[in-house]
C-alpha cells in the first residue's frame, strides 16, 4: 500500500507540500483538505485585488501559466485529491487517523494517515471592543472578505473608511482604498508609530509622512474603544480614545492569531508566541505530524527567540522542506531573520533583523547609522534616493538589522536583501563595508549606499561620527539652544537663514578651513549637509580645531525633508 499523506489547509504551505511531494514520489497518496471552497490562492495579493492592481479575483488563484488552481486542477494536473469545505475536527494520534466534518452536509469522514501536515494558517484578530462584529466591520484574511469590501466600494457605498492597525496589512489596505477608490481613510494605531514591530522611529516617520501626503488621516497612540451603528445615517461611529469618527466601513488589521485549535486538542505543544512548536525539520513533537506556515512559531535567527511570522514566502519554503522530509530526505528550515517588504503608495519600505527597540529588549547594546544616497550613480539619470538605517551591537559589531526606504522598490529591496541573507551568518559591520554587490552606473554608485551605511556605522562605532537622529534633531532644535551649522552652499542655506535667523549659521564646506576661527569652541552645533557625509567630515575637522560639541544630523537635509517638509 502506498504511503498516505493528509494535509490540513490548502492556501500556501499545504499546496506546496502536496505538489513537491508528488514530484518526489509519484505513488504517495496525497489528500489536501480545506475548510474553505477557495484554495491555493495568493493571500498576500488581497490588498492589490481590493485596490485594483489585480483586476480579477481569479488571478489570485491562477498559476503563472494561467491555469486555475481548483480541485480539478490538482486532481488532473497533479494527481492530488482535494476536499474543500471540510473541517478537520480531531486528530486521533494513537491510530494515525483524522476526523472531518463536511461543512455543507454535516457528513463525517475519517482518513488514515502515515504523515499528517498541519497547514491551518492564522486568522485575523477581532479585537474585544464592542461592535467589532457589526456588519461592514471586515477583516482581510480571506478572499471572501476581499470580495465583500471591493463590491461595496464598486457600488459606491464607501465614502469614508477606517482601518485599525498600522501593520503591513493595515497599510496595504489603506493604500488600496485611498489610491484607486479615493476613499477618505483614517488609520488608527495604538503604538506611537506605524509598523511598530517592523521599523525604528526614523524610517517609520518617513512611512507615516507618505501616508499623510497621500491624504490618509493617521492617528497614532490612539485606541478604538467601540463601534456603534448610527441609526440616523447608517454609518459606523468609531469611538477612539480621542474622538468619534463616522465611516462607512471598518477594516480590522490588528494582527493575526495562529489557528492551533486542532493541534491543541490533539495535545500538540504550542509555544509562548501561541504558534505550534516545530523542530527545524518542521516536525511537531509527534514524528508523524508536521506543521508549517502561519500556524507555527519559528526562530528569529538574530534574537534567538521564537516568534510568529505570517508570510507566504516562509510558508512556501517551509512547504518544500516538509515535503522533502516526508519523502525521507533531510531538509532544514532554520528560522527567519524577518526580511520584509511593503509598498506604501510611492514608497517602498524593506527591512530585516531587529528594530532598535527589539534589539534593546533582547539585551543587545544597539547603535545605528542613517545614510541617504542615490540608488544609481548620482550622475546617471533617474537616480532616486535610498534611506538606510543600519543597526549593530556595540560590543560585537554584529549587524542586528537594516531598514530602508525609497521610491525605487526593487533598488531598495536589493540593498536590504544583500544584508538580510548575511544575517544568519552573523555578519558584522566590516562585512557590510566590504559587501560586494554589483556595480555599474545604471545600477549603483561605486561606493554604494549599502556599503556607505556600513562605513557610517563603522565611524559611529569608532566614536568618530557623533550623530543625532533627524527626528530627535527636529524635536531638540525647538527645545535646546544649540545652533545649526549648515555647511551646504549659501544658496541652499539662504531660506533657512531667513527663517531661523541667528540660530542658523552657514559656512560652506569649502570655506570651513579658512573660516574656522569664526566658530567658538565653547558652542554646541548641529551639523547639517545634504545627506550626512560632508557634515561628518566637517565634524572631524572641527573636533581637531577644538570645536568638540557637535552632532551630525543623520541623513542630513534629505532626511529632514522626508519626515518634516514643513521644517522649511
**Residues in 527-566 at the binding interface with a copy of itself, rule: CB under 8 A:** 529-531, 534, 536-537, 540-541, 543-544
Show the binding pattern over residues 50-79: x = contacts a copy of itself (CB under 8 A), - = does not.
Answer: ---xx----xx-x-xx-x----xx--xxxx
Show the binding pattern over residues 141-180: x = contacts a copy of itself (CB under 8 A), - = does not.
Answer: ---------------------------x---x--------
348 near a copy of itself (CB under 8 A) = yes
Instruction: Order the strands of the 385-393 sheet from edge to edge.
Output: 340-344, 347-353, 399-406, 385-393, 366-374
Query: Rounded distance, CA 519 to CA 544, Å?
Result: 13
Cell numbers for 214, please give them: 497621500
Contact region with a copy of itself (CB under 8 A), list: 247-255, 263-271, 420-428, 493-501: 420-428
State which of positions 300-319 bind a copy of itself (CB under 8 A): 311-317
Which residues have CB under 8 Å from 310's CB, separation 6+? 121, 122, 256, 258, 293, 294
Contact 282, 13 (CB under 8 A): no
Contact 470, 560 (CB under 8 A): yes
Compute φ and ψ for 353, nearest 5 degrees.
80, -155
Alpha carbon separation from 54 to 108, 146, 163, 179, 337 (Å, rounded)? 38, 12, 21, 14, 29
State which of positions 240-299 bind a copy of itself (CB under 8 A): none
101 near a copy of itself (CB under 8 A) = no
422 near a copy of itself (CB under 8 A) = yes
Cβ-based nearer residue to a copy of itself, 16 or 160? 16
Q: Which of 106, 128, 438, 501 binds a copy of itself (CB under 8 A)?
A: 438
Compute φ and ψ for 149, nearest 5 degrees.
-65, -45
Give the shortest CB-428-to-a copy of itself separation in angstroms.
12
Report the SS3 class of residue 352: strand
23 near a copy of itself (CB under 8 A) = yes
461 near a copy of itself (CB under 8 A) = no
Quickly tell me which residue has 486521533 as its cell: 92
476 near a copy of itself (CB under 8 A) = no
Which residues have CB under 8 Å from 307's CB, separation 6+? 273, 297, 298, 299, 300, 336
Which residues have CB under 8 Å from 117's CB, separation 6+? 5, 6, 7, 8, 9, 13, 14, 17, 289, 290, 291, 292, 322, 326
Q: Which of 115, 283, 398, 488 binds a copy of itself (CB under 8 A)?
A: 488
- Say how far residue 274 (Cα) sits from the centre of its chain: 20
Q: Which of 133, 232, 410, 522 binds a copy of itself (CB under 8 A)?
A: 410
568 near a copy of itself (CB under 8 A) = no
Cβ-based nearer residue to a copy of itself, 83 or 416? 416
State which of positions 318-347 bind a copy of itself (CB under 8 A): 320, 331-334, 336-337, 339-343
Beta bridge partners of 232: none
Q: What is the 3-state secondary structure (H, E, C) of 102-150?
A: ECCCCCEEEEECCEEEECCCEEECCCCCECCCCCCEEECCCHHHHHHHH
Give the shortest CB-43-to-a copy of itself separation in angstroms.
9
Cβ atoms within 10 A of the Cβ of 105, count?
A: 9
Contact 161, 250 (CB under 8 A): yes
State which of positions 190-249 bind a copy of itself (CB under 8 A): none
Cβ-based nearer residue to a copy of itself, 224 or 558? 558
Give the shortest CB-459-to-a copy of itself separation in angstroms.
8
26 near a copy of itself (CB under 8 A) = yes
Give the shortest CB-484-to-a copy of itself separation in angstroms.
17
Cell numbers for 520, please give them: 567658538
Total residues in contact with a copy of itself, by rule CB under 8 A:
110
Give the shortest CB-52-to-a copy of itself separation in angstroms.
10
Contact region with a copy of itself (CB under 8 A), list: 1-9, 37-45, 153-161, 266-274: 37-45
387 near a copy of itself (CB under 8 A) = no
Amino acid at each position: 500500500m502506498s504511503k498516505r499523506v493528509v494535509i490540513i489547509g490548502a492556501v500556501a504551505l499545504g499546496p506546496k507540500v502536496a505538489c513537491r511531494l508528488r514530484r518526489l514520489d509519484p505513488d504517495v497518496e496525497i489528500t489536501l483538505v480545506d475548510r474553505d471552497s477557495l484554495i491555493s490562492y495568493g493571500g498576500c495579493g488581497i490588498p492589490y485585488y481590493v485596490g485594483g492592481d489585480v483586476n480579477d479575483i481569479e488571478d489570485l488563484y491562477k498559476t503563472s501559466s494561467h491555469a486555475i488552481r481548483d480541485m480539478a486542477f490538482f486532481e488532473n494536473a497533479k494527481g492530488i485529491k482535494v476536499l474543500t469545505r471540510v473541517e478537520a475536527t480531531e486528530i486521533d494520534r494513537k491510530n494515525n487517523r483524522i476526523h472531518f466534518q463536511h461543512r455543507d452536509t454535516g457528513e463525517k469522514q475519517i482518513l488514515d494517515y502515515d504523515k499528517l501536515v498541519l497547514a491551518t494558517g492564522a486568522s485575523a484578530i477581532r479585537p474585544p471592543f464592542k461592535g467589532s462584529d457589526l456588519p461592514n466591520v471586515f477583516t482581510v484574511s480571506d478572499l471572501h472578505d476581499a470580495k465583500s469590501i471591493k463590491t461595496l466600494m464598486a457600488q459606491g457605498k464607501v465614502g469614508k473608511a477606517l482601518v485599525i492597525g498600522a501593520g503591513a496589512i493595515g497599510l496595504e489596505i489603506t493604500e488600496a482604498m485611498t489610491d484607486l477608490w479615493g476613499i477618505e481613510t483614517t488609520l488608527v494605531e495604538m503604538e506611537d508609530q506605524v509598523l511598530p514591530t517592523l521599523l525604528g522611529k526614523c524610517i517609520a516617520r518617513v512611512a507615516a509622512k507618505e501616508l499623510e501626503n497621500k491624504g490618509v488621516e493617521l492617528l497614532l497612540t490612539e485606541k478604538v474603544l467601540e463601534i456603534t451603528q448610527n441609526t440616523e445615517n447608517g454609518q459606523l461611529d468609531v469611538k477612539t480614545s480621542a474622538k468619534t469618527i463616522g465611516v462607512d466601513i471598518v477594516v480590522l488589521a490588528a494582527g493575526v492569531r495562529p489557528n492551533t485549535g486542532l493541534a491543541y486538542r490533539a495535545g500538540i505543544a504550542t509555544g509562548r508566541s501561541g504558534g505550534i512548536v516545530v523542530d527545524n525539520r518542521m516536525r511537531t513533537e509527534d514524528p508523524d505530524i508536521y506543521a508549517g506556515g502561519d500556524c507555527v512559531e519559528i526562530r528569529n535567527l538574530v534574537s534567538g527567540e521564537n516568534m510568529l511570522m505570517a508570510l507566504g514566502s516562509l510558508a512556501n519554503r517551509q512547504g518544500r522542506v516538509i515535503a522533502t522530509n516526508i519523502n525521507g530526505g533531510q531538509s532544514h528550515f532554520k528560522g527567519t531573520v524577518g526580511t520584509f517588504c511593503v509598498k506604501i503608495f510611492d514608497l517602498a519600505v524593506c527591512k530585516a533583523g531587529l528594530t532598535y527597540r527589539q534589539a534593546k529588549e533582547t539585551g543587545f547594546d544597539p547603535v545605528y547609522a542613517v545614510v541617504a544616497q542615490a540608488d544609481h550613480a548620482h550622475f546617471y539619470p533617474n537616480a532616486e534616493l535610498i534611506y538606510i538605517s543600519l543597526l549593530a551591537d556595540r560590543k560585537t559589531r554584529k549587524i542586528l538589522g537594516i531598514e530602508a526606504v525609497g521610491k525605487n522598490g526593487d533598488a531598495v529591496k536589493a540593498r536590504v536583501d544583500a544584508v538580510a541573507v548575511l544575517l544568519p551568518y552573523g555578519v558584522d559591520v566590516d562585512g557590510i563595508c566590504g559587501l560586494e554587490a554589483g556595480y555599474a552606473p545604471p545600477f549603483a554608485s561605486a561606493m554604494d549606499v549599502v556599503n556607505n551605511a556600513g562605513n557610517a556605522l563603522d565611524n559611529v562605532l569608532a566614536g568618530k561620527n557623533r550623530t543625532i537622529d533627524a527626528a530627535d534633531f527636529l524635536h531638540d532644535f525647538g527645545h535646546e539652544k544649540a545652533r545649526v551649522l549648515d555647511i551646504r552652499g549659501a544658496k541652499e542655506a539662504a531660506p533657512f537663514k531667513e527663517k531661523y535667523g541667528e540660530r542658523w549659521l552657514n559656512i560652506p564646506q569649502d570655506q570651513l578651513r579658512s573660516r574656522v576661527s569664526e566658530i567658538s569652541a565653547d558652542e554646541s552645533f548641529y551639523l547639517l549637509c545634504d545627506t550626512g557625509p560632508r557634515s561628518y567630515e566637517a565634524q572631524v575637522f572641527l573636533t581637531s580645531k577644538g570645536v568638540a560639541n557637535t552632532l551630525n544630523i543623520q541623513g542630513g537635509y534629505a532626511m529632514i525633508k522626508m519626515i518634516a517638509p514643513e521644517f522649511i
